[in-house]
Amino acid sequence: MKKIGVLTSGGDSPGMNPAIRAVVRKAIFHNVEVYGIYGGYLGLVNGNIKKLELGSVGDIIHRGGTMLQSARLPEFANREVQKKGIEQLRAHGIEGLVVIGGDGSYRGAKALTEQGYPCVGVPGTIDNDIPGTELTIGFDTALNTVIDAIDKIRDTATSHERTFVIEVMGRDAGDIALWAGLAGGAETILIPEENYDMKEVADRLRSGHERGKKHSIIVVAEGVCSGYEFARQLKESTEFDTRVSVLGHIQRGGSPTVADRVLASRLGARAVELLIEGRGGRAVGIENNKLVDYDIIEALDKKHTLDLDLFKLSKELSI
């Protein structure tokens, strides 16, 4: 393989830039040319493709977002649109593609692979919801952003003896809520993977306050319901003075943490190795701190599983 392409797609995540850097530098190290596809699958279909050099990825390792820009393109589910993308790649002489992104991006990579074009998926999303990897690029940075917010909210919650409902992202997965809730000492964590009982939530809050707690933090994953909706329900069952904070897209920005930069560098470089070895149609991941790769077509049939032991632990520690 002499020419490969790289694109980022879907919701951006902190660490996509170090992943792009790793792809470009690893490929050039092996005398393979790299082309950047700007604007995700939309840029692919429109032929927004430019050659990247070593210097193109200088000074990006610490930057959030993605220098290649990103987009969501639901039309890419259409076979004809996919064919246009493959035509663009072939017209540029690009023989393999690294796709950095989340669930939707993997579906695009899977479709191209099924049409006979070699792709390798690199998991880049703050949601940590990609099957076949314990961690996705951007999850750690997002968690640190959420923790920073929870710590600050805790200060004001204590001063006013308030209950705070903090809504975090994660799409259908509760990973951000669970990890940040555990690390932030939240009294209650609500995740889509487990039903909640409002009476139990209210009882917990009451017993904490009876023991002298000055505040309560409830972290709600967006996949459960909106923070405002939960606060409304809580108001019906309790007497607590409650405020809501929706953290929103702040969770997607910021300089990637060390953990994300290292993860992105390892996964991006491994994706290039696979293409050079002629092993397209794979997705890379990390398990027990070891790089793994698996069939991208099978990957999407698997389900991401949240660590329910961690959920149990969070309940035990927040009594």
Residue 102 sits in the site that holds ligand F6P (CB under 6 A) = yes
Residue 175 sits in the site that holds ligand F6P (CB under 6 A) = no
HSE-CB of 121 using CA atoms within 13 angstroms = 36
Residue pair 65/12 in contact by the 8 Å Cβ criterion: yes
- 301 DSSP assignment: T
Q: Which of 12, 59, 127, 295 is catalytic?
A: 127
For the bound state, the minimum distance from the C-beta of residue 169 to ligand F6P, rounded and expressed in Å, comes to: 3
Helices 258-276, 16-29: crossing angle, 10 deg rounding: 40
Segment lying near ligand F6P (by CB under 6 A), choices 107-115, 165-173, 259-267, 305-313: 165-173
Q: Which is nearer to ligand F6P, 10 or 280 (CB)?
A: 10
Say if residue 250 carries a ligand binding annotation. yes
Residue pair 158/280 in contact by the 8 Å Cβ criterion: no
Q: Which residue in 25, 171, 209, 261 binds ligand F6P (CB under 6 A)?
A: 171
For the bound state, the minimum distance from the C-beta of residue 239 to ligand F6P, rounded and expressed in Å, comes to: 32
- 255 DSSP assignment: P
Q: Which residue has the tokens 């596809």?
A: 37
For the bound state, the minimum distance from the C-beta of residue 159 to ligand F6P, rounded and expressed in Å, comes to: 30
Residue 125 sits in the site that holds ligand F6P (CB under 6 A) = yes
Residue 192 sits in the site that holds ligand F6P (CB under 6 A) = no
Q: Which of 23, 314, 284 is nearest to 131 (CA)?
A: 284
Say if residue 214 carries a ligand binding annotation. yes
- 7 DSSP assignment: E
For the bound state, the minimum distance from the C-beta of residue 142 to ligand F6P, rounded and expressed in Å, comes to: 8
Residue 170 sits in the site that holds ligand F6P (CB under 6 A) = yes
Would residue 127 show up in a list of annotated catalytic residues for this protein? yes
List, in sequence order, every beta strand (DSSP E) within 145-267. Answer: 163-168, 188-190, 216-221, 242-246
Residue 266 sits in the site that holds ligand F6P (CB under 6 A) = no
Q: Which of 167, 239, 204 is nearest to 318 (CA)?
A: 204
Q: Which is nearer to ligand F6P, 163 or 245 (CB)?
A: 245
CA distance 145 to 315: 22
For the annotated catalytic residues, the residue numbers are: 127
Residue positions in the annotated binding site for Mg(2+)?
Answer: 103
